[in-house]
Amino acid sequence: MRKIVVLVALTLAPLLFAQPKTAAPGTDPAAPVAELSVADAIILGVVEGVTEFLPISSTGHLIIATRLLHLESEKPLSARDGQPLWYKPPSPKYPAGIPLTLKLAADTYTVVIQFGAIAAVALLYWTPLISMLRGLLGRDPAGLRLFISIMIAFIPTVIVGLLAHDWINAHLFSVGAVIIAQVAGAVLMLYAEFWRRRRAVLTPARSDFADLTPRAAAGIGALQCVAMWPGTSRSMTTIVGGYFAGLDPRRAAEFSFLLGFVTLTAAAVFKSYKSGAAMIQVFGWSHVLLGALVAAVTAAVCVKFLVHWLTRHGLAAFAYYRLVLAAALAVVFYL
């Protein structure tokens, strides 16, 4: 029970980043202007929680889910008094303004509820997180080395994300892009699993984060950048990167979780700051909190499952799932 209470607290506290600073004229920020049902919030929370740390792509599955739930409309929204709602109001920089749409709110929603998955990692892996904090204070050399490795792996994502964020949102958030990424990711996973098993015959895998070199951490970070293509999977690329860095499956997964804690926190805070107020204006608070909480619980279960599965079976089953999913999507959306 204590862990559940902590998980709830960790999930809800960061969502304060999404608090609207000002309401649009004539609107009540507590009154949503578009419908997001309880069922929709639960479905999106489950999809986020299940897929965030499994190597099958949370973004890809959420793009598909929002489309199936009919949350992709780009029709400009209006307040209850008929006044237009703006994501970016008319200004010298945006003469025509950028209207607020259901799709924009839903895209933000799927990022902000990642706070739930972040909370799950914080609860399950608080020991290495505290170790890194102690390392920064000069009290834990191993924790400091782990922190440095995480930061080296994180920096490439920051650079590429800031430079390519708008282009990715404009060109890659589609079912077609997800299908391509699912297939490419499956091929990479099968190769990585073959490579790991062949290498294990000659050289035992590393089971200690302290053995991770800066060059290896940078390689994991470079692969994480590839996951910005929706459907690729941040978890998949970083676990594969861990394989190539010589980590055993368990440590590769756990390094992926810790790197994800930093990366997802940065992405969710950035998205909350940039368009969280708009999302709250569209959907209201209650369903955002519900989605994040559902994501937290399901992510905690899936993190434990993934470590157990990888230790015994490796990545191959997830690769085959990706191929089946890609085929099903092609049939449903294009045939």
Task: In whole angstroms, give the CA distance from residue 170 to residue 167.
Answer: 5
Q: Give the domain extent around 108.
A: 2-334
**All residues at 6 or more sequence positions from 283 whose CB lies less than 8 Å from its CB, including other chains:** 32, 34, 36, 105, 109
Q: Residue 179: name the closest of 6, 2, 43, 335 by CA.
A: 335
Q: What is the DSSP string of 220-286?
A: HHHHHHHTTSTTS-HHHHHHHHHHHTTB-HHHHHHHHHHHHHHHHHHHHHHHHHHHHHHHHHHH-SH
pTM, rounded to two decimals: 0.87
Q: Residue 206: name the closest of 262, 244, 235 by CA.
A: 244
Task: Using alpha carbons, list the distances in angstroms from residue 144 to 210, 239, 276.
Answer: 9, 21, 33
Mean pLDDT by 10 residues, the chain (335 residues): 53 52 43 77 96 94 92 85 82 88 89 92 95 95 95 95 86 90 97 92 76 92 95 96 93 95 92 84 86 95 96 96 96 88
Total domains in the fold of the chain: 1
82: left (phi over 0), alpha (psi -120 to 50) or beta: left
**All residues at 6 or more sequence positions from 200 whose CB lies less than 8 Å from its CB, including other chains:** none
Q: In which element (H, E) is residue 98 found?
A: strand 98-99
